[in-house]
A and B are shown apart, each in its own frame.
Chain A
Amino acid sequence: MMPHDHPHPTSRDHSEPRAAFDRLLSQVLTALDESALLTTAEVTAQIEDMEGRTPTEGAKLIARCWVDPEFRELARHDLPAAAAQIGISMPPHPVFLILENTEDLHHVVVCTLCSCYPRPILGPPPVWYKSRNYRSRVVKEPREVLAEFGTVLPAGTNLRVVDSTADCRYLVLPLRPKGTEHLAESELASLVSRDSMIGVTKVST
């Protein structure tokens, strides 16, 4: 248990790494290159793979769920198979699940222990998702946290906070906004933000 009656240092997540950590990274890469475990070339390839994974890809998946009931059913039962259909490759582990928002139920995702996130679909998480303040508060006062993101849910809407783990990750399927029946799938996808797939916002037109 940690005390919280004293101030903590400010997060350094908006700054460049210290020289000592830059040096450590070089040492680790050199040592791994000399071992049989990993090459720097593999690290470079992994960076390139990750750069192709962005919320834009997740938004395509959401829009397809909105327009194609069969696809939505597939996403419900086998999210990696659904993702593969729109060109997103997924690892065999961990488990990925979709959380469907309805008029009566809204979901918001957190990782209280660290930063687990549906990275293959959305890319790396934003800094605030990994922050102490989000992780601490969203499980205790989720409506206040959502309000900070500009999201006010009707009092009658249930709010479910879902905690991710290393073994199970979640993607929120936001509610399709009203009055979008005439929009094409690509136009719908352009409405879907990263934050709506985490659940801190809703999709609006």
Chain B
Amino acid sequence: MTEPNPTLRLKGIVKTFPGVRALDGVDFDVRPGEVHALMGENGAGKSTLMKILAGVYHPDEGQIFIDDRPVVIRSPIEAKEHGITLIHQELSLAEEMSVAENIFLGELPRKKWGFVDWKTLDERVGTILQKLNADWGPRTRIGSLSIAKQQMCEIARALTHSAKIVVFDEPTASLTDAEKVVLFDVIEDLKAEGVGIVYISHRMEEIFKITDRISVLRDGSYRGTLNTRETDEDEITQMMIGRSLELHRRNIEHAEEGEEVLSVEGLSCGRLFQDVSFTVKAGEIVGFYGLVGAGRTEMAETLFGLRRPTAGKIRLAGEEVHIGSPSEAIEKGISLVPENRKEQGLVLGMNCRDNITLPQIDDLTAGPFVANGAEVAIYDMYRDRLQIKAPTWRTLVGSLSGGNQQKIVIGKWLSMKPRLLIVDEPTRGIDVGSKSEIHKLLRELAHQGYAIIVVSSEMPEVLHVSDRIIAMHNGRITRTFSADAVTEEDLIQAISGLTSDKAA
């Protein structure tokens, strides 16, 4: 079998930061018309490698070849000139500008005198959007689109350049299933045009669906490349973390059900969700599963006092309560690990200890001052219990890996000793190793008698941790399943709104 020469080849890339060898001799290549997955735990060096490709970092050693010619990429602009395009995990769009303006930002077609040629612009963008099956036009304001649609615009931007290499960094993190299908179609089209694609994702099912080869990094070093067709999840996982995990196991434990902690009756919040009723008992994990926009997060935020319900009752241990603000929720023993840890969960510029003790800082005083010892004790306790890997408590949270950041958020809320723990997307953007640790932790917490609500858009996760699963669609509960009676087919039907019969 003759293999085409790779479009992009990295050879022996080494990058060190003070005290860390972030990349230790990484080899990687992408052939034209191939989807090459890059996998590894958070902190394995994927982002560093991508930043080298993008010209943000410069390798200390090693060479980059494009079409067999050695190149040096000094800046993002040079990367673009070499035909390398990155689709970032975090979007970089100008919210107040139109779709068309964003897509051609910096290179808008001009007429004489330098005026923008709006007609040509609209036509060109229109064609691209059509290709992407977009139901919005070139003149739509970016800010008015959903995150998923904004991401499609980011992809559209890549399509306008004659890209040789397109790097997708966790592209499906906020996409719905339907949108994923469109994305995968786009990737197929790019392949057909001979573009080489680097695909970074933690989601195994996607990796197996669309990639041709898989390269794995661990702790900055290159662990090998596998042909997707000849491998399986276990092999990849082992390469990534050096041991095997049982990620797809269902939850088979039966919780020892305790007292009813939370009971919600007919809870509504405007158009966000309506008539939501359920209970959570001590020692039980109730999973909320649904598509983006189904109202799960909004429901969780209402329980935490971030939104005012328009109707319905909330009872804590049988007693009706009104929760007007997060501080009231905290007083009543409710904790929320929010959906977006960087925006909602953490103050990234603060150290680990200060982040963990933030909600209870008022109670940690000696005289008028914060009791340093008590604070450090709390940090140490949760560092050990959750196996947080940080050099010291003085380390800024922003410099930790995603998994450890998430553990800080969980530690922060566990240290409040809540009666009810709500966890929204517990493992979003977290590598497999930390993912399974967090799942295990949630099960342990349930064992210890916590009442837990887990909101997630990942089916394996919901199946893995929940004792009961509540499916939501369009702001309403469509069905409730018990862990031993749930099937994936039923669950998909329930969240797509295909069935409306309520089963117990």
A binds B: no
